Structure 1
Amino acid sequence: MSRRRVLKLAGAASVALGLTVVAGEYGFREANAEPPRARQSPAAKATPKPPPRIASWAAAPLPPEEGTLSATGLHDAQLRMVVRPTIGGTHPRIRISNRYGTAPLQIAGAWIAPRAQGPDEKPGTRVVVTFGGSRSVVLQPGQDLVSDAVALSSPVAARTALLVSLTVSGSTGPVTWHPRSRDVSYLLDGPTRPTRAAGSAARARQRWTGFTGWYWLSGLDLLSDRAAGTVVCFGDSITDGPSTAAKRTTVRWPDLLAERIAVERPRAPYGVVDLGIAGNRLLQSAPRGGVAALDRFDQDALGQPGATDLILLEGINDIGFGRDTDGLPITAEQLITAQRTLIGRARRSGLRVHGCTLLPFEGAKFFTPVGEQVRQQFNAWVRNGGAFDSVVDFERAVLDPEVPTRIAVPYDSGDHLHPSDAGAAMLAGAVDLTALAALHR
């Protein structure tokens, strides 16, 4: 049939139906119907996903400690605290905690800037931090709060020293803090006093007082389009690292692990956060060891943005100091039960769990032959129990081959319990990077 004949028949049919027919290149459609949607390529349909938010630095909050500034609190003070992100990115946020405070915490101002040196910011880089759009905020006792994201003038590079500054108004009461800061922090307390030093920068430097600890500051996360996730290192003083020395930066194995990941996995690095607490135990809270791991785990470890992996090192303080309700030493079975509980919680949150053997400790102040037997029983379970996604064999990384119950001299800090700088490097090197979550999705 000719095209003209087809058009004529179609027009006649449209009169009967009350439709207008429009001829197209490939057929006909109703003019008062919706035109066919243009085909879109898969790339046009897909909405680009924003970069994931990754925890890049963290410190586990602790109650105030008698005999320190954390117990007495501050009044009308300004603090500058050094944070070193373990992965680079943009739009950082900070986490503030008044978890163990007894009074409302009034933050009158907060800002972030790259550090020049000491308490000095790089000129012209300061960015104000807001909370729900406001420059000031009040945290009630027990409250944690995440700030709004801020846009710095340039992306944050991994391991850059950032200064996070807080100005607090009125009397704070006891401080929620983390005592073992990696770097010296700085305090400007009370009204400023005149000085003869020339220049505002010189005057400011004279007024700052160095101190140890991160006050109220418990986390920093950022956006990263390259990150594979966040590794949460959860443990006691071996993870927390030594106390800050006045003239040197402390060495902690989680920081060395972050540096190793950056070198070996530059295209898909991980944020690494240190949630260690000196003196922490699995089963029981302690005056200087914080809340028991079983009780702080969800809030400290599982709340980290972008968390994909957990490295779990806990138990040596339970062996050395812990007692059950009958006053008897803690057993390996009790430690194993507690760790199984943490493993289950982590897995329900989608994390891969990497279990650590406990380091040798003969010669430490709380060493006993009974405790050594418990340690060996626990380590045998870590290696052979099949409970973990991978085993991080810290014991074998640092033991003395001739006296396996001791840390080898080069890796011993001197107290026969904590690793030296060389020992911390051995611990960081013992983690199997191929076991991390990115390769198992």
Structure 2
Amino acid sequence: MPDSERLSEDYVQDSFHSYLKSSLTQAKVERLLDVDMLSSAEGDLMITGPALCLYFAALRCTTNPPSVPLPRVNKTTPPLQLTGDNCPRPFIAFLNVWANAVPEIQNLAPEHQHDLARLICGLPPLAQPTNSNLSRIAADLRAVAIEISQRRSFQERYSTDLQAAIDAGEGPSGSRHKVKASFSPPPAYDPSAPKSSHSSPRSDPGDLPSKIPSYAHVRTHSTTSNGYLSPTNSEFIDPKSPVPRPPSPSILTAHSPAIELIRETLYASLADVLERVPSIRRVLHTDPPRAYFAAVSFAILDVATTCVMPDGAVQGVLGQQLTLVDCPQGLRPFMIELAGIGAAAREMEEQDDDAAVQIAAQGGEVPVPRLERVRWMLEKGVGHHLRDEGDAGRRSVEGRAVAFANRINGLALGLTRLKAFRERQGEVFKVLSGVGT
């Protein structure tokens, strides 16, 4: 269908936020979310809300192939369905991933449907035995939600959605103390208007989320090797030696606070990321928020696998090292998650290497390693994993890869909302936009 005949982005966004308000309200009624959670400013809530909206939309779907009934503009307008034919092009990948999940969600037993909603909200399943497909379906819905949460149009309206859910069913206005949604969108990414980095050298403690994303509780596996492999060139790296980082626009000093060391270490990796992944560099000029977020996610994976020592310390820029003991309490969850991502990535590589040896010995075709699939997803965005759908075993592998990509993206979402990161985004954008051009 020509773009002129597709629905406008604004119309679809308005419809989505209409459903989002009702979905958050329904989640409150079912006690999946409470008022305290809705009023918080936690980064994970930016993911949970849109994912719940997709879940409830899947339960309501009555068409094949799946489509979304859109709210009527007024009583005289005919009902309209959002389909692959009339969907705005920027949203087609979102619709495809959602549509792929709809039959599976509808075929679940009611108790497993409820458990799926619980998983989306970071709650443990209740039904026994558990359904092994739920984690994969939840990962797909959360992957779409992460991409939605990066859109400025969503960030600017989410507080209103949360407030509507908070107020729903709470009685007449003024009957009790009114709870306010504290969510506020991060500053807009604007590479042409860098912000001063001298306004506040420290992160405001009130700016730190009370917890990292709920899927970050995945068990961290300790590493037993004396070294590890670089994800870019498989070169053995001595974990006791400082890892050389490319030059970066750093303002770090010997007395800089911990958040700045973490920030500058990640930003030092961004130039290298943009050199290795030229597609992100190209998108930086056409869709800065998407490119910036993808680059930060790549940098997290890079730093987690090359700069985190076996004891969990981070070997940062200028040869400085940050240990967990020295890290402020509010930042420790981010440090722990960074180390967890690195350990999980190395374990994933080891498992895939072992499996590849066995498959090759049997004369089979060695699949693309999971970590490489994760990099594809970080680079290309949601829906990329659907191109290789196959048997149940492959779908299980894809589900784990999507969940791991979500874990990296979730940490990126949490970190980039911190004040210390936001202060430097414009400046770093301006420098990095010239890399490779």
TM-score (norm 1): 0.27
Q: Which has the higher contact order (CA 8 A, sep 6+)?
A: 2
TM-score (norm 2): 0.27
Q: Which one has the bigger strand percentage?
A: 1
